[in-house]
C-alpha cells in the first residue's frame, strides 16, 4: 500500500545501518491533485528540492565520509517520497563501504525509481562554498496590522485581485506559513514566496489565506500546489510562481516550487530558519 497511513510515519522504527532501497515509501500525487481540481496536463511546472544534512557512509578503508546532498524531484513525477522513509533510506548508508561516484549513482537510481521520474542528485562537502544563508526576496506581508481569528481549513475566499487596476509584477513573502503532517500531526513551519504578474492581489487577504493553513493537515508539496491553484482560480495572474522553504526535520528539508513557466527552477536558497 502507498497511502500515508501505511508509511513509517508515527510508528516505532528500528534504524537500519545497511543499504536497503525497499525502505523508500512512494505516495501517489494523484489523489490530492484531484481534490484541488488538478488533472493532466498539469497547470504548473516545478520541482521539489530536498536537502539532506545527515548523509554519511564509509570509504574503502572504513573511514566515515559525510556530505550535504541536494535532491530535485520533478513536480511531474507521479509520486512524492514520504520523508521518514527517505531519512531511513539515507541512514542505511552509514555502515556501507561505497565510493562517492557509486553512492551518487545509487541515489539517482533508487530515488528515480521511487518517484517514477528522473531525480537529480548533487553531493557537496560540508565545508564547500554555496551554503551561505540567503533569505527569500520579496515584500514582506507579515507586518500588516491585521486581526486574525481563522486558522483553518485553508480559506481561498480571502483571495482577491483588482482587475480594474493596472497590472503589476511583484514578489510577496511571508514567514507565517504553518501546516501539519497528515499522519503524525507534527507542525511544519515554512516561508513562502509568491511572484506574479497580473491584477494586483490584495495583500491583507493573501496573508489571511496563508495563515488559514495553520491547523491544516497536508504534506508540503500538496500545500504549495493548493496555494498555486487557489491563486490562479481567485486572482487569475498572467504568470505565477509559488516557492516554499520549510524548516528541516530529521535532517531533511523540503522546498516545493510551482510555476506557470514549465522550464523555471529556483535557486536552492538556505533561509535563516533552515
Output the known binding site for NADPH: 83-84, 249-250
Q: Which of 110, 147, 150, 181 is catalytic?
A: 181
Give the side-chain half-sphere CA count within 13 A for 105.
5
- Sheet of 45-58, strands arranged across: 120-124, 64-74, 45-58, 252-259, 239-246, 187-198, 168-180, 139-140
* Residue 41 preceded by cis peptide, ω within 30: yes
Tell me, yes or no, if 223 is annotated catalytic.
Answer: no
Q: Which is it for the CA torsion 36, 38, 43, 44, positive or negative?
A: positive
Q: Which is it for the CA torsion 36, 41, 43, 45, positive or negative?
A: positive
User: What is the gyration radius of the CA atoms in the chain, in angstroms?
Assistant: 19
Q: What is the helix (H) or strand (E) element at residue 110, kind and residue range?
A: helix 100-115
Q: What is the helix (H) or strand (E) element at residue 96, kind and residue range?
A: none
Give one DSSP letter per residue of 112-153, joined into a string. Answer: HHHHTS--EEEEE-TTSSS--B-PPPSEE-TTS-------SS
Binding site members for substrate: 81-83, 220-221
Q: Is 177 exposed, middle or buried (0-12, 13-18, 19+ CB in 10 A)?
A: buried
Tell me, yes or no, if 135 is annotated catalytic.
Answer: no
Binding site members: 81-84, 220-221, 249-250
How many angstroms from the chain centroid is the CA of residue 11?
23
Q: Which of 17, 48, 142, 188 is catalytic?
A: 188
The beta-strand segments (E) located in the chain are 26-28, 45-58, 64-74, 79-81, 120-124, 139-140, 168-180, 187-198, 239-246, 252-259
Give the residue numbers annotated as catalytic, written as ranges.
181, 188
Amino acid at each position: 500500500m502507498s497511502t500515508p497511513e501505511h508509511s513509517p510515519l508515527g510508528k516505532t522504527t528500528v534504524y537500519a545501518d545497511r543499504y536497503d532501497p525497499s525502505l523508500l515509501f512512494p505516495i501517489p500525487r494523484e489523489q490530492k491533485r484531484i481534490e484541488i481540481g488538478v488533472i493532466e496536463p498539469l497547470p504548473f511546472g516545478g520541482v521539489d528540492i530536498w536537502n539532506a544534512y545527515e548523509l554519511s557512509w564509509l570509504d574503502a578503508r572504513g573511514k566515515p565520509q559525510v556530505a550535504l546532498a541536494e535532491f530535485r524531484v520533478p513536480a511531474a513525477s507521479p509520486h512524492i517520497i514520504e520523508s521518514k522513509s527517505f531519512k531511513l533510506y539515507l541512514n542505511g548508508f552509514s555502515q556501507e563501504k561505497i565510493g562517492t561516484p557509486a553512492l551518487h549513482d545509487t541515489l539517482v537510481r533508487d530515488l528515480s525509481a521511487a518517484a517514477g521520474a528522473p531525480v537529480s542528485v548533487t553531493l557537496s562537502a560540508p565545508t564547500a562554498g554555496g551554503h551561505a544563508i540567503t533569505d527569500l526576496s520579496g515584500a514582506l506581508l507579515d507586518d500588516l496590522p491585521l486581526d486574525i481569528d481563522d486558522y483553518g481549513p485553508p480559506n481561498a475566499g480571502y483571495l482577491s485581485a483588482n482587475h480594474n487596476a493596472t497590472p503589476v509584477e511583484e514578489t510577496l513573502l511571508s514567514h507565517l506559513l504553518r501546516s501539519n503532517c497528515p499522519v503524525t500531526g507534527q507542525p511544519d513551519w515554512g516561508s513562502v514566496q509568491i511572484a506574479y504578474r497580473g491584477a494586483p492581489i490584495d495583500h491583507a487577504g493573501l496573508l489571511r489565506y496563508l495563515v488559514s493553513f495553520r491547523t491544516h493537515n497536508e504534506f508540503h508539496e500538496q500545500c504549495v500546489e493548493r496555494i498555486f491553484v487557489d491563486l490562479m482560480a481567485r486572482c487569475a495572474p498572467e504568470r505565477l510562481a509559488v516557492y516554499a522553504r520549510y524548516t528541516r526535520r530529521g535532517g531533511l528539508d523540503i522546498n516545493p516550487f510551482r510555476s506557470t513557466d514549465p522550464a523555471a527552477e529556483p535557486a536552492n536558497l538556505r533561509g535563516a530558519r533552515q
